[in-house]
Amino acid sequence: MLIKEIIVVEGKDDTVAIKRAVNADTIETNGSAVNQETLEKIKLAMQVRGVIIFTDPDYPGERIRHIVSEAVPGCKHAFLPKSEAIPKKGKGLGVEHASVEAIREALKSVQQEMEEISTEISFEDLVDAGLIGGPQAKERREKLGLLLKIGYTNGKQLHKRLKMFKISRESFAAAIKEVIQGD
């Protein structure tokens, strides 16, 4: 599987895992302290080939995703479920622990960030669906993120991501129905 875009990852181990799964070039941020030089490389990559941000499904990974996305608008995003990023033995969480199949699946399900932000889904819709403030809210957001392939987020970030990826009201409603049936 050949990937045209350059994939932004956190470190060397992530690059090794990506290259095991697909034929692709990467830019490593070297952790969450993303410097200006790295952002300039990513901007150039965006102009020349496009960029896919593929970071770990944890707080530092989301922080890197946010920093890069703010500095380089229009990136594509690949999300790995936490369950696919846990090593069989040992500690940690990250892309480097994912199977070849999980990495390929995440890259097949890339989401395009849209610069025009608009959606019919309101913050109140999220509350009504039990995604914010309820006893099962976190679990429901995890399931919704998997179904819509937008990754796990807190409530506020979920609303932003639904807008960013222009998730339609119909797609949202269908996914919520599936999430609730699984409760």
Range from 12-26, 52-66, 117-131 carrying the lowest mean pLDDT: 117-131
Q: Is the pLDDT of residue 174 over 60?
A: yes
Give the per-residue pLDDT at 116: 47
The dotted CATH code for 6-112 is: 3.40.1360.10
d(CA 102, CA 136): 26
Residue 115 has a pLDDT of 52
Q: What share of the chain is helix, strand, coil (3-state, %, to 5)?
A: 50, 10, 40
* Residue ranges in the chain assigned as alpha helix (H): 12-21, 36-48, 59-71, 100-108, 123-128, 137-148, 155-164, 169-181
CB 80 within 8 A of CB 98: yes
pLDDT in tens, 41-96: 999 999 999 999 999 999 999 999 999 999 999 999 999 998 888 887 777 889 99
Which residue ranges make up each domain of the chain? 6-112, 123-181
Contacts with 148 (C-beta within 8 Å, 6 or more apart), sequence order = 162, 165, 167, 171, 172, 175
pTM for the predicted model, two decimal places = 0.73
